[in-house]
Amino acid sequence: MTIHRNFFPAAFAAAVFLAHSGMAIAPLAAQEQEPPRTLVQGRGVELTTARCVICHDAQHITRAKLSREEWAFNVKNMIERGAPITPEEIPQIVDYLATYYSRDSAPPAESAAAEAPVAAAAEDPAQRLLTANACIACHAVDRRLVGPGFREIAQRYRGDSAASELLARKIRDGGAGAWGQVPMPPHPQLTAADLGLMVSWIMKQ
Ligand code: HEC
Ligand code: HEC
């Protein structure tokens, strides 16, 4: 009984504080290391990226570590702000966030490990870059995820001599409108060489 009486007001107060000020997160942002720009791979990453990386970048999430109750509150809050999430999707997104961005427990070991072996195992340096930069959270070769499939991108721009430069710039700067209203986030960390490798690989699909 005591546990229940103390627990709920504390969790609620923390969530309200977070929702209104964002201050519970701000001190973390001051740390030297920049938070990752993409969500970590794991069950639910595609849905969470599709629904949550629309109005702001993924760093809003990757710099946060919240309890499950606080994530549930945050998701509710984002829906009130206009996030297009159906009631059935809420538990999947909260599960993902509470698993990989939890204040109370470390993310499952396979999530950190999962990305590295795939990246290391990929023979092709372009594929390695696509994995390491989490492009594959939003893109597949032969179907749409959040973004268009790499094959349909290649088909659209085949024979267009200006395409390589245009696509490299688009990946670096991000943007929307070519395939729909959902934007691609910018990737300012990529070098011209990396961009060139990825674009020529995509154009060969
Ligand atoms: C309709 C636009 C929109 C969508 C979609 C959206 N957010 Fe937000 N989010 C905001 C706004 C507006 C803020 C407050 C201003 C800011 O920090 O940029 C915010 C802030 C945040 C913060 C900082 C804490 C806070 O409350 O200020 C987190 C964490 C966050 N969002 C997570 C998410 C997650 C997780 C999702 C997906 C469930 C999501 N957002 C989807 C609009 C959105
Ligand atoms: C958060 C999801 C997301 C991530 C991460 C992402 N993309 Fe995209 N990408 C999209 C969306 C959405 C579009 C469609 C944008 C539009 O309609 O203009 C897109 C479009 C593209 C296009 C076609 C651009 C055009 O103008 O036709 C290419 C090429 C591309 N992405 C490559 C990449 C590469 C390479 C990476 C990794 C460095 C990456 N994307 C990461 C969502 C993403």
Residue holding tokens 């209104």? 20
Average pLDDT score over the chain: 81
Of the listed ranges 30-44, 97-111, 155-169, 185-199, the least confidently predicted one is 30-44
Torsion, Cα 123 128 130 133, to 10 degrees, reads 170
Q: Is the pLDDT of residue 109 over 80?
A: no
Higher pLDDT, 9 or 164: 164
Q: Give the tens place of pLDDT for each residue, 159-201.
A: 999 999 999 999 999 999 999 999 999 999 999 999 999 999 9
Rounded to whole angstroms, what are the CA distances from 2 to 12, 20, 167? Answer: 16, 28, 59
Question: How many Å apart are CA 48 and CA 37, to the nearest integer?
Answer: 14
- Tell which atom from ligand 2 comes closest to the C-alpha of 130: 37
Return the pLDDT at 15. Answer: 42
**Cβ atoms 171, 139 nearer than 8 A:** no
For Cα atoms 89, 14, 35, give the angle at the middle one, nearest 5 degrees. 65
Q: Is the pLDDT of residue 158 over 90?
A: yes
Residues lining ligand 2, judged by CB closer than 6 Å? 38, 49, 53, 130, 133-135, 137-139, 146-148, 153, 167, 170-171, 175-180, 182, 184-185, 187, 198, 202
Q: Give the tens place of pLDDT for each residue, 54-80.
A: 888 999 999 999 999 999 999 999 999
The burial of 62, by beta-carbon neighbours within 10 Å (0-12 exposed, 13-18 middle, 19 or more buried), is given as: middle
Higher pLDDT, 116 or 164: 164
Return the pLDDT at 22. Answer: 42
Count CA atoms within 13 Å of residue 132 on its CB side.
15
Task: Select from 57, 164, 171, 173 the residue to mutate for testing ligand 2; criterion: most ligand atoms less than 8 Å from CB.
Answer: 171
**How many residues are there in the chain?**
205
